[in-house]
Chain A
Amino acid sequence: MTKPLEGLIVLDFCQYLSGPSAALRLADLGARVIKIERPGTGDSCRQLALNGQLSDGDSILFHTINRNKESYAANLKDADDMAKVIKLIEQADVMIENFRPGTMEKLGLGFESVKRINPKIVYGTITGYGNEGPWKDKPGQDLLLQSLSGLAWLNGDADQPPVPFGMAVVDLFAGAHLVQGILACLVRRGRTGTGGLVEVSLLESILDFQFEVLTTYLNDGGQPPVRSSVNNAHAYLGAPYGIYETRDGYLALAMGSVTRLGALLECPALAQYADPQQWFKKRDEIKLVLVGHLKTRTTKEWLAVLEPADYWCADVFTWERLMEHDGFKGLEMLQNVTRPGTSGVTTTRCPIRVDGARPSSDKWAPRIGEDNERLEKEFDLAKAERV
């Protein structure tokens, strides 16, 4: 299968998660991604270990986000190295960076300079808060952006403090948006021949993620979002929306008629809530009735009643139970990527299918500078002249 981005060269100057996750997706879709890293230390993510876990000296996090990439180690403050990097830029289709505003300009690798080197390049950049304003120099870190953007007030129950989303949701959406902008500019380049500048920020991306509920807030006179005090799953949705404990586990209930649910579950107390307006207004009261009722039987028993009726419900899996299930196995979502000389890392694959197949690659995450020698030959970097 021809991967859609086959033949494109991406230079990834990024660190941590947001930018590298964008480069990973471009690699998934067929582009060749070369990480440009500081000699010695490389991408700081190499040392950012989740749960303290390392493999072959690099964090599992690094292995996850940087599989299917090459590494070129270069000191951007050294004139000879810089000449080689510029020679790479001349031959690249895309470059991305996620330093704080001004860093690439100081190195002479800002968009305006790069455009003169290669007018066809699509240049992608991720900042924390944009290039201007009072926050531009603040650290662009996921949890901090969740906190600043109001997101934490949408998660958890009403009596809890603001609860952050338990994953790097900001970084991942910003990375996804960067990919969208870069690809749109590549589409345009196919037509016009010119490159472009794509800018995203963590703050704008996490506001976009909230766009539905923000729009409601912006048009309802500014009423603050109120989380449900019982099993909250969405501040703006009524009962039964939430996850409930059963006799032996948990059950998720999405949006649906409360009275129909009452009939299916044989819970007569729900019959009185016939007016759909009450499902929101009396959300907590209704949900409390459900909390009491659902504890009386097992998850399996409830599903046996609700699923045949096509009532929106699901079991609540841990990863362990999920991975034992045929529904998961059939996805073939996992793969092993093995750095030569190591036992390898089991990780996920590209989630997008193209032309009926998942684009796959068993290329591992590189060691720092692993590909220098080969790249120097291939791109004729030895002859690069200082500028």
Chain B
Amino acid sequence: MDDLNSRKPLQGMLVLDFSQFLSGPSASLRLADLGARVIKIERQGIGDICRTLYISNVDLAGDSTLFHAINRNKESFAVDLKNDEDLAVVKRLIANADVMIANFRPGVMERLGLDYESTKELNPSMIYGEVTGYGHEGPWRDKPGQDLLVQSVSGLAWLNGDAGQPPMPFGLAVADMMAGAQLAQGILACLVRRGVTGQGGFVQASLLEATLDFQSSALTTYLNGDGRLPERSGVHNANAYLGAPYGIYGTKDGYIALATGSVTVLGELIGCDALSSYCHPQDGLTKRDEIKNLIAEHLKTESNDHWLSLLEPASYECSDVMTWDRLFEHEGFKTLRMTQSVSRKSGANLLTTRCPIRIDGERFKSPIGSPTLGEDNDKIREEIDHR
């Protein structure tokens, strides 16, 4: 394991993570995955609020599974940032850190004297990363930066679900995850620059900008079109701007997905004669719902296996629609070795996923679980005393 750690690209980097919930902590998790040492700076007594954000009735050693998943492979230093002595210790940590991350509402870190301008004086070569909901200016700066709310503000919910439905949010925290990914990108880019120039940097991501960037291709289509808002497909919508057959369809025993492909070729392959009349390339868009209804009726008559056996050999873009239990049983999933077991010092075990990035052919794993609140206080205080 020591060998593996020494090969991780960010080995030797120290990251202080002041952030809570998902956006910031998902960025520091990725830095940890890639070899950095991440210390969570948490509020004494309470810690990251995510510890108590339960999304199931599974309580593992007093913290939510959510917290365990996001904070594996990190240390915890519990402090009271309003206490001068604690603040002084944190500032000494900052003086020795390569990166720090925060995701409080605008103004909070300034009041603590831990904003970028102040920390730059403590450590000019540090990279300071920050996630806000809506940036530092404008009428929304003090709004809660929460995933569903940002999806709703950004127009994203109008791209999901069928035309007859209300705006439908994406069923996962896509704004948080994208903002976290972008924060990690910006921090890493500044670390590359630091390797050349020695200077630190300030990286800012926001949930709103991340979600707009996420919609960039669709937004650009809208901005350069005739001004009409995107219209979701009335049936089997999967992308408001793509024509038939793009979508997921029911079969006699399950569901299959059909991606971008010719409507007439599809008709020939699945033996649906009615599709042969849609031979104009624009028909897939202009007669989208009509075509999709024909496909849906036809696909109901046979099983998944039947249709896939006709489509796959012809290299028509299609797929079975899996549930997690079926996916996990499949050799294609097992080959990835995507899961790993992590444990706390107390012995509490958690099965979770690993870093999705492979470097030099290696899958980076780490058996270290998430920390209990303040678990590393003694060790970190001792280290600081010895610096």
Inter-chain contacts of A179 with B (CB < 8 A):
185, 188
Check A214 for interface membership: any CB of B closer than 8 A: yes
List B residues 340-387 near A (Cβ within 8 Å): 350-353, 355-361
With A4-B189, A199-B358, A354-B186 as known contacts, state yes or no: A64 contacts B239, CB within 8 Å. Answer: no
Inter-chain contacts of B232 with A (CB < 8 A):
166
Q: Is the pair B239, A167 in contact by a Cβ cutoff of 8 Å?
A: yes
Q: Is the pair A139, B257 in contact by a Cβ cutoff of 8 Å?
A: no
A61 to B219, CA, bound (A): 10
Which of A46-54, A83-91, A257-265, A372-380 binds B? Answer: A46-54
Report whether over half of chain B's contact residues are helix, strand or loop; otherwise say mixed.
mixed
Which of B76-84, B159-167, B266-274 binds A? Answer: B159-167
Q: Is the pair A233, B169 in contact by a Cβ cutoff of 8 Å?
A: yes
A316 to B258, CA, bound (A): 30
Inter-chain contacts of B250 with A (CB < 8 A):
161
Q: Is the pair A233, B353 in contact by a Cβ cutoff of 8 Å?
A: no
Q: Is the pair B169, A169 in contact by a Cβ cutoff of 8 Å?
A: no
Check B201 for interface membership: any CB of A closer than 8 A: yes
Q: Which residue of B lies closest to A337 (CB)?
A: B220
Inter-chain contacts of A183 with B (CB < 8 A):
185, 188-189, 191-192
With A5-B193, A143-B259, A322-B155 as known contacts, state yes or no: A184 contacts B9, CB within 8 Å. Answer: yes
CB distance from A4 to the nearest CB of B (A): 4
Inter-chain contacts of A217 with B (CB < 8 A):
324
Inter-chain contacts of A361 with B (CB < 8 A):
none
Q: Is the pair B356, A200 in contact by a Cβ cutoff of 8 Å?
A: yes
A224 to B327, CA, bound (A): 12
**How many inter-chain contacts with C-beta < 8 Å in the A-B complex?**
458
Interface size on B, residues (CB 8 A): 143
Task: Write the A36-75 contact mask toward B (1 if CB under 8 angstroms, else 0).
Answer: 0000000000001011110100001101110000000000
Task: Choose one: B152, B185, B357; the contact of A243 (CB below 8 Å).
Answer: B152
Task: Write the B222-260 contact mask toward A (1 if CB under 8 angstroms, else 0).
Answer: 111100011010000111111000111010000111111
Check B313 for interface membership: any CB of A closer than 8 A: no
Q: Which residue of A lies closest to B34 (CB)?
A: A184
Q: Which residue of B lies closest to A186 (CB)?
A: B192
Q: Is the pair A331, B225 in contact by a Cβ cutoff of 8 Å?
A: no
Which of B40-48, B53-61, B89-97, B106-114 binds A? Answer: B53-61
Which of A101-109, A148-156, A266-274 binds B? Answer: A148-156
Q: Is the pair B34, A180 in contact by a Cβ cutoff of 8 Å?
A: yes
Q: Is the pair A50, B241 in contact by a Cβ cutoff of 8 Å?
A: yes
Check A232 for interface membership: any CB of B closer than 8 A: yes
Inter-chain contacts of A348 with B (CB < 8 A):
212-213, 216, 219-220
List A residues 118-141 near B (Cβ within 8 Å): 129-130, 132-135, 138-139, 141
Q: Which of A55, A148, A231 has the most CB of B within 10 A?
A: A148
Q: Which residue of B lies closest to A214 (CB)?
A: B353
With A220-B58, A316-B157 as known contacts, state yes or no: A254 contacts B241, CB within 8 Å. Answer: no
CB distance from B70 to the nearest CB of A (A): 7
- Known contacts A25-B185, A144-B257, A183-B191; can you find 13 more A-B pairs with CB under 8 A? A8-B192, A50-B241, A150-B327, A164-B248, A197-B359, A203-B336, A209-B172, A212-B173, A214-B324, A224-B323, A233-B169, A310-B144, A352-B205
Ordered by A's residue number, 10 sampled pairs between the chains whose C-beta atoms are within 8 Å are: A4-B189, A133-B331, A148-B320, A149-B327, A163-B248, A219-B350, A233-B171, A241-B148, A331-B208, A352-B209
